[in-house]
Chains A and B, each alone.
Chain A
Amino acid sequence: MKPFDYVRPGTVAEAIAAAAQPGAVYLAAGTNLLDLMKGGVSRPNRLVDVTHLDGLDRIERLADGSLRVGALVSNADLAHDSEFARSYPAVAEALLSGASAQLRNAATVGGNLLQRTRCTYFYDTASRCNKREAGRGCNARDGENRSHAVLGWSESCIATHPSDFCVPLVALDAVVEIEGRTGRREIALDELHRLPGNTPERDTALEPDDLIIALRLPPAARSFAAHARYLKVRERTSYAFAVVSAAAALRIENGKIAEARLALGGVAAKPWRARAAEDVLRSVAPTADAFRDAAWRALADAKPSGDNAYKIELARRILVRALTLAAAGTPARLPALPASPFASTSGAVHA
């Protein structure tokens, strides 16, 4: 492996200073980054290990009713925090449907947000990939691309963002707190990941030395707790990335949808908030017809980027199902197979 420096700062300020040099990257649990380094996809000069920074591993309830999750909280700890799971059940369900128990124990909130695409041509250094090397071309465009994007893609890149966690988060208007050379700022999660356009080499709105400090869920995010689900279709029952997934959260008042939140995963280079579809559902009764209309609206601009037209129809169906499940009410306990169409199958003991 290419030699690199390893530094382990104790404070956020030291971390940002350490990351200022070109070729430096932050290392959290490394479940994604180390794989990329072993494959020669990432060849950093310096790893800035953030896992020993103070104060980034807390889950705090703020006075205004929002929730603040430190960037170093593990995926498993967050999902198993019972107050968190009660307040944001779709997020907990999404977390538990991702990767494996071992990976979730290690993986951090910040790392999950910033995990790279799973496009196999991106991982394969013998292939041309604009995301890996700007301007080299995209071998996925005419390649084996049945799992690639159907929304927001460009001729330069058709990759998807693979995170489950981000899908309900973007639906719930999560905010990312960032500390960088210019101090602290925050942006909506929806603004964090970029669509590829002509610059797919830039995954996010972050500058290279920007450090994610925390994730915040605004007070309103709790108001969907009674009707919130995440649903993930995958090629095996567990331990697989989504083919397509959806988060649906509803605020139902007097038999009508007061507010709907919808997002799709596995369809675009970012977790895909379906705002137009949310509008379709405002102030209507939660009926199958309404859900279908919303699903059609959500995919109105979708187009296949390869052998993946099926993902458009699948996405519609997943949205309808996620909405149906959300309308039926959040289950009292998280299903044994979180986010799975087989969640209710008896005898399912593994996740």
Chain B
Amino acid sequence: MPELNLTSAPAHLRHGSNIGQPLTRRDGVLKVTGRATYAADNHPPGMLFAVMAVASIARGHVISLDVAAAKRHPGVVDVMTPDHKPALAIDPDIKTNPFVFRMEVLQSNEVRYANQPIAVVIAETLEAATEGAALLAPRYETLPPLVGLDAGESFVPPVVGVGNPAAHHHGDVEAGLASAEKQIDAVYETRPQYHNAMEPHAIVAHWDGDTLSIDTPSQAMVMARARVAELFGLAPEKIHIRSPFLGGGFGSKGFLTGPQILGLMAAKLVGRPVKLVLRREQMYGPVGHRAPTRQRLRIGANGEGRLTALDHHARTVSSTFDDFYEPAADASHTLYAAPAIRTTHDAVRVNTGTPLFMRAPGEATGSIALESAIDEMAWACSMDPLAFRLRNYAEVEPITGKPFSSKALRACYEQGAARFGWAKRPLPPRQMRDGAGLLVGWGMGTATFPALMFQAEARAVIRRDGSGAMEIGAHDMGQGAWTALAQIAADELGLDIDRVEFKAGSSDLPDAGIAGGSAHTATAGAAIHSAGAAVIAKLADLATNDERSPLFGAGNAGVVARDGKLFRRDDESRGESYAEILARAGISEVEARGTGAPNPAALEEFAMHAHGAVFAEVKVDPELGQVRVTRMVGAFAAGRIVNPRMVQSQLFGGMIWGLSFALHEEAITDRRTGRIMNANLGEYHIPVNADVPPLDVITVEEHDPHVNALGIKGVGEIGITGSAGAVANAVWHATGVRVRRFPIRIEELLTQR
């Protein structure tokens, strides 16, 4: 089977009207009627329930578990502990590739963080397993845990994020600061946050001899399959992972987590299918989170309000046993045209589960600090924050000097500001009140997120009945992959969307890569694009080489595929349907594969990012300090918009997470025990409906010929960036109080009245 990778200028054109249409979710009815099967909805015959017991200390050792008591409880089948568990094929601590993170799978009795799994009880019912876990009554030898940003000696991590250098610089920062007429030097703190997807991590595992069937939510099925294969010593083909729907992932379902592996081990141990579902509080530990940061920004500007230097240092934490460092300072690489930029990171190790990718990792934390600091600098220069940002608009990527592949940020600023009415903003804070006497403030932030591409493959088929199929193991986390990717598939096959069988969400389909980094539509879309081009090319070959076809000899001119037919590009009165071509050739179907991948040459030449501008209005009670966001406008330029309705939802969601970052989200860690004291959705606050104002999203036209063949940039994460800072800046503008610790709390706003 030939593998074609047509990323530009294909010989044949496919015309469709699906991309760009605001289709509603094709899986929407299934979801609202409860017929969409999420992982935990599966109940293979004979299935048992597994419940984890988790550590209530953050550091030390488990010295005893009352396994006998748990086993005596009616319904309990077995108790898996470090002493009683199936062996793994390799040591799970070995990093076989950079995307392997260490996990707790009962390898020892050591406890490294609170809520670490320490045993698994397997029983006939969920209730029996739950009570069995309680009966284990663990006893510990407790050591003083490492907690917080000052927990120990700091060090410079080898890399931050995914392989980024921990330090970067360009130009002479100290000289830039020394020459500045205005300077700010400010420290911002962000708190730990947890993904809190609605759907908890869940796994239903079913061993049948040496084949393994798995239902589990995954943002990267093929990578997950490879991890299972190496841990259990299986050939990947023996493992089938199904993940048709995710109830949110936000990064926490990107890698298989310890609890998921424990579900597989439990099923192996008892020789029956097993379901393991995390309870909400168990998600505060073994499935990743966003680390806290403390960021120092030093910024200088000259008399005209032009930046002379930007110095951004971020302190963060990682676990005691693995490495992931929130690349917060890297947010300063791309946005503002300072002649000298330095970004540095350091870290301490604490007793938590390893922090991981969460909703714009680095970009979000860095953005709220950077956008606050830019706002402070604008005020120091007595300039409007938008004028200040425009004065320092980066025409090329500041840290590298590369041109942007496209950058419609100016249009975002203009359209967002116009829609918001920004021009009427008074420069000083605490100037506006509403009719009820509440303080009103307006703030803005710039949004940015890299336009990434990973690797993906797709398989396209055109059948003799004139229908088509597109197969790709893509992931729908709720963002709408079932719809948006099917729209791309329909256009690439030159078919109506109802004539395309779109298959996704299963590991036996071609690898769609990872649904992360806001790159899934771009990456999977590119694979679909090239598979579609390849299958059309094959079909065109059949026709143009066959003298009985009206398309005979059109090979050089090329054909156009549209509505299930091929037409001569130079004479559209001559055409033939897919069905006719295949019938005459006596073939039941043609198929082809295609891949999507980053284009190294373009990456070398261009800086590629999506951009946006977010404007927020808050009201603050002048005496009581309670804050409410009353209006938000976001204008985003993210290349080609495949489905405007879904893109709008993604951007709404991002803006709400931004609001949440500025005002609500915080895991409260007991400083003595390292335990999280609000590990539930009652007390880990995220915005409720009453907190979310009318949101206004503008998608700014942007054509990008370089990012990928379809010109798609991501929209999944950019919404949180810019938004968090916009809300924080609006709080300052309302009150005159600059809060540099997020989320902003009532007590900080009571300082003045």
- Residues of chain A touching chain B, judged by Cβ–Cβ distance below 8 Å, are 1-2, 40, 118, 120-121, 124-127, 139, 142-144, 146, 233-240, 243, 310, 313-314, 317-318, 320-321, 337, 340-342, 344-345, 347-348, 350-351
Segment among B237-245, B285-293, B341-349, B689-697 that sits at the interface with chain A: B689-697
Q: Given the complex, which residues of B lie within 8 Å of A345, measured CB to CB?
A: 434, 436, 438, 619, 628, 630
Are A233 and B619 also in contact (CB < 8 A) when A120-B678, A121-B677, A314-B750 are?
no
Smallest CB separation, A247 vs chain B (Å): 15
B95 within 8 A of A: no
B72 in the interface (beta carbon within 8 A): no
Question: What is the total number of residues of chain B having a CB less than 8 Å from a CB of chain A?
Answer: 43
B127 — which chain A residues lie within 8 A by C-beta? 1
* Residue from the list B57, B623, B677 in contact with A321, Cβ < 8 A: B623
Q: Does the CB pair A341–B690 fall under 8 Å?
A: no
Residue pair B624, A321 in contact (C-beta under 8 Å): yes
Q: Are B671 and A144 in contact (CB under 8 A)?
A: yes
Q: Do A237 and B625 form a contact, CB below 8 Å, given A144-B668, A144-B677, A344-B436?
A: no
Q: Which residues of B contact A (CB under 8 A)?
A: 56-57, 127, 130-131, 134, 434-436, 438, 619, 621, 623-626, 628, 630, 663-664, 668-673, 675, 677-678, 683, 685, 687-691, 693-694, 745-747, 750, 753
Assuming the contacts A143-B672, A144-B671, asked whether A236 and B664 have C-beta atoms less than 8 A apart, the reply is yes
Let me know if B436 and A310 touch, CB within 8 A: no
**Cross-chain pairs A/B with CB under 8 angstroms, 27 sampled:** A2-B131, A2-B134, A118-B683, A120-B678, A124-B677, A125-B56, A126-B57, A126-B673, A126-B675, A127-B675, A139-B670, A144-B677, A235-B664, A235-B745, A236-B685, A236-B690, A243-B746, A314-B624, A314-B625, A314-B750, A317-B623, A317-B624, A341-B438, A344-B436, A345-B628, A345-B630, A350-B689
Q: A347 vs B753: C-alpha distance in the bound complex, in angstroms?
A: 26
Tell whether A1 pairs with B130 under 8 Å between CB atoms, given A341-B626, A345-B438. yes
On whether the beta carbons of A120 and B664 are closer than 8 Å, the reply is no
In the complex the two chains form, is B691's CB within 8 Å of A347's CB?
A: no
| Given pairs A1-B131, A238-B690, A321-B623, 10 additional interface contacts (CB within 8 A) | A121-B677, A235-B746, A236-B685, A237-B688, A237-B691, A314-B625, A318-B624, A341-B624, A345-B434, A345-B438
Closest chain-B Cβ to A230's Cβ sits at a distance in Å of: 14
- For the complex formed, measure the closest distance between the CB of A130 and the CB atoms of chain B, giving whole angstroms: 17
Bound CA–CA A307/B689 (angstroms): 30
Least CB distance from A325 to B in Å reads 11
**In the complex, which residues of chain A have a beta carbon less than 8 angstroms from the beta carbon of B746?**
233, 235, 243, 310, 314
What are the nearest 4 A-B pairs in CB distance?
A126-B56, A310-B747, A237-B690, A238-B690
Q: Which residue of B is nearest A351, CB measured?
A: B690
Are A238 and B745 also in contact (CB < 8 A) when A124-B675, A144-B668, A317-B624 are?
A: no
Contact A237 B624 (CB under 8 A): no
Instruction: Give the nearest-CB partner of B693 in chain A.
Output: A347
Residues of B within 8 A of A341 (CB): 438, 621, 624, 626
The answer to whether B628 touches A310, judged by C-beta atoms less than 8 angstroms apart, is no
User: Chain A contacts of B669 at CB under 8 A?
Assistant: 144
Minimum C-beta distance from A159 to chain B (A): 14
A246 to chain B, nearest CB (A): 11
Task: Please report whether the interface of chain A is mostly helix, strand, loop or mixed according to DSSP.
Answer: loop
Residues of A within 8 A of B753 (CB): 317
Given known A243-B746, A310-B746, contact A233–B690 (CB-CB < 8 A): no
Bound Cα distance A345, B745 (Å): 21
- Chain A minimum-CB-distance residue to B74: A3
Residue of B nearest to A142 (CB): B672
Return B55 CB to nearest CB of chain A, in Å. 9
In the complex, chain A residues whose CB is within 8 Å of the CB of B663: 236
Min CB distance, B747 to chain A, in Å? 4
State the CA gap A234–B687 with chains docked (Å): 12
Taken together as a complex, chains A and B put the C-alpha atoms of A238 and B687 apart, in Å, by 9
Q: Give the distance to chain A from B619, nearest Cβ to Cβ, in Å.
A: 6
| Distance of B537 from chain A, by nearest CB (Å) | 54
Bound-state Cα–Cα, A240 to B688, Å = 10
* Chain B neighbourhood of A347, CB < 8 A: 630, 693-694
- Residue from A118, A236, A243, A318 in contact with B688 in the complex, judged by beta carbons closer than 8 Å: A236
Which of chain B's residues have a CB closer than 8 A to the CB of A120?
A: 668, 677-678, 683
A235: which B residues are within 8 A, CB to CB?
Answer: 664, 685, 745-746
B626, A238: Cβ atoms closer than 8 Å: no
**Inter-subunit contact A238/B689 (CB<8 Å):** yes
Distance between A138 CB and nearest chain B CB, rounded to angstroms: 13
CA distance A120 to B670 in the complex (A): 10
Nearest-Cβ distance from residue B630 to partner chain A, whole angstroms: 7
Contacts of A118 in B (CB 8 A): 683
Structural contact, A320 and B694, CB atoms closer than 8 A: no
Closest B residue to A118 using CB positions: B683
Cβ of B197 to closest chain A Cβ, rounded Å: 19
Cα distance A139–B626 when bound, in Å?
A: 28
CB neighbours of A233 from chain B (8 A): 621, 624-626, 746
Say how far A51's CB is from chain B's closest CB, in angstroms.
22
Residues of B within 8 A of A121 (CB): 677
The distance from the CB of B295 to the nearest CB of chain A, in whole angstroms, is: 23
Q: Tell me how far the C-beta of B750 lies from the nearest C-beta in chain A, rounded to whole angstroms.
A: 6
Which residues of B have CB within 8 Å of A146? 747
Give CA–CA (A120, B667) in the complex, Å: 13
Closest Cβ neighbor of B743 among chain A residues? A235
- For residue B683, which residues in chain A have a CB less than 8 angstroms away from its CB? 118, 120
The answer to whether A234 touches B130, judged by C-beta atoms less than 8 angstroms apart, is no
Docked-complex contact B685 and A40, CB < 8 angstroms: no
Residue of A nearest to B57 (CB): A126
Hey, which chain A residues are within 8 Å of B436, CB to CB? 344-345
In the bound assembly, the distance between CA atoms of A234 and B435 in angstroms comes to 22
CA gap between A142 and B673 in the complex, in Å: 12
Say how far B265's CB is from chain A's closest CB, in angstroms.
25
* Bound: A118/B677 CA distance, A: 11
Quick one: given A2-B131, A351-B690, are A234 and B626 in contact (CB under 8 Å)? yes
Which of A2, A313, A337 is most buried by chain B, counting CB atoms within 10 A of its CB?
A: A313
Kindly provide the distance from the CB of B194 to the nearest chain A CB, expressed in whole angstroms: 15
What residue in chain A is nearest B55 (Cβ atoms)?
A: A126
A321 CA / B675 CA spacing, docked (Å)? 37
Cα–Cα, bound, A240→B625 (Å): 16
A38 to chain B, nearest CB (A): 9
Q: How far is the CA of A255 from the CA of B438 in the complex (A)?
A: 27
Expressed in whole angstroms, the Cα–Cα distance for A125 and B672 within the complex equals: 16
Cα A40 to Cα B130 in complex, Å, equals: 11
Q: Report A-chain residues with C-beta under 8 Å of the C-beta of B750.
A: 310, 313-314, 317
User: Within the complex, what minimum Cβ distance (angstroms) separates B637 from chain A?
Assistant: 29
Cβ of B74 to closest chain A Cβ, rounded Å: 9
Q: Quick one: given A2-B131, A342-B438, A345-B619, are A236 and B625 in contact (CB under 8 Å)? A: no
Q: Is the CB of B687 within 8 A of A236?
A: yes
Say how far B67's CB is from chain A's closest CB, in angstroms: 18
Q: Which residues of B contact A337 (CB under 8 A)?
A: 690
Please state if B747 and A237 are interface contacts (CB–CB under 8 Å).
no
Q: How far is the CB of A316 from chain B (nearest CB, A)?
A: 9
Kindly report which residue of chain A lies nearest to residue B630, judged by CB atoms.
A345
Complex CA gap A235/B625 in Å reads: 10
Which of B625, B678, B693 gathers most chain A CB within 10 Å?
Answer: B625
List residues of chain A with CB within 8 A of the CB of B131: 1-2
Q: What chain A residues lie within 8 Å of B668 (beta carbons)?
A: 120, 144
A193 to chain B, nearest CB (A): 22
- Bound complex: CA A243 to CA B748 (Å): 14
Query: Residues of B contacting A2 with CB < 8 Å?
Result: 131, 134
Interchain nearest-CB distance for A312 vs B (Å): 10
Q: How far is the CA of A41 from the CA of B672 in the complex (A)?
A: 22
Given A120-B678, A237-B691, A317-B624, A342 contacting B745 (CB threshold 8 A): no
Question: Counting chain A CB atoms within 10 Å of each CB, which of B130, B626, B689 scores highest?
Answer: B626
Complex: how many Å from CA A289 to CA B691? 33
Q: Nearest residue in B to A310 (C-beta to C-beta)?
A: B747
Instruction: A40 to B436: give the CA distance in the assembly, Å.
Output: 46
**Candidate in B130, B672, B746 with the most chain A CB atoms within 10 angstroms:** B746
